[in-house]
Homo-oligomer: A and B are copies of this chain.
Amino acid sequence: MAPTPAREPRRRGRPGYDQDAVLAAAVRLFNERGYDYTSMFDIAVALGITKSSVYHHISGKEQLLQMAMDRALDGLFEAADEVRALDVPARERLEQLIRRSVLVLSERFEYVTVLLRVRGNTEAEQHALARRREFDVVVTELVKQAQAEGGVRPDIEPATAARLLLGMVNSLTEWYRPRPGGADAIADAVTALAFEGLHTISPGRTPPDRH
């Protein structure tokens, strides 16, 4: 399968390019040393510009965090919208949403990493956590619908299934490093494990005995 082309990050405000560059540098530092241990001065140094030049584009660290979290969450909700429009059974939409979540994570790796480390210390972080929970609900509802249609096994609680699926996807920020063409391969592995399982033949779910 051809690798999905990386999406162009949306540009905000007038001095688009510079704001994106500031954001990218900030997010790298947030992930390396932690949000609390990154100052606007550090961000300026990383970019080789003055602190006041940074403030020309950005109101402060909080805005950078907010933009990073939005970029991750917007990607996930765009994927949810695309999947909602597909005219296929819920089980396939669920599988597509998990696959696309892996691709969003791979394309927006640093932004998703920032998002997943947020613990809710500020109002903006609380808002981001609320949007994450909203996304959990989207996945939970798809599991429910797929169970009702008979496409997903009924013996796993929908919210638990959703959390385990997203837990597996989100774990990528801990060990996966994006590389060209790698996203589809890892999405294949995630969906194969999640939907077909690791067993060579799934015991107890083979078709009825023919005798």
A residues contacting B by CB (< 8 A) are 34, 36, 91, 94, 119, 143, 146, 150-153, 155-157, 160-161, 163-168, 170-172, 174-176, 186, 189-190, 192-207, 210
- Nearest CB in chain B: distance from A209 CB, A: 10
User: Which of chain B's residues have a CB closer than 8 A to the CB of A186?
Assistant: 160
User: Which of chain B's residues have a CB closer than 8 A to the CB of A190?
Assistant: 164
User: Which of chain B's residues have a CB closer than 8 A to the CB of A171?
Assistant: 163-164, 166-168, 170-171
User: Which of chain B's residues have a CB closer than 8 A to the CB of A202?
Assistant: 195-197, 201-202, 205
Whether A167 pairs with B156 at a CB distance below 8 angstroms is no
Known: A153-B192, A156-B193, A174-B167. A161 touches B206 (CB 8 A): no
User: Which of chain B's residues have a CB closer than 8 A to the CB of A196?
Assistant: 153, 197, 199, 202-205
Most chain-B Cβ atoms within 10 A of its Cβ — which of A150, A164, A190, A210? Answer: A164
User: Which of chain B's residues have a CB closer than 8 A to the CB of A204?
Assistant: 196
CA distance A177 to B19 in the complex (A): 40
Question: Which of B174, B194, B206, B210 is close to A193, meaning CB atoms less than 8 Å apart?
Answer: B194
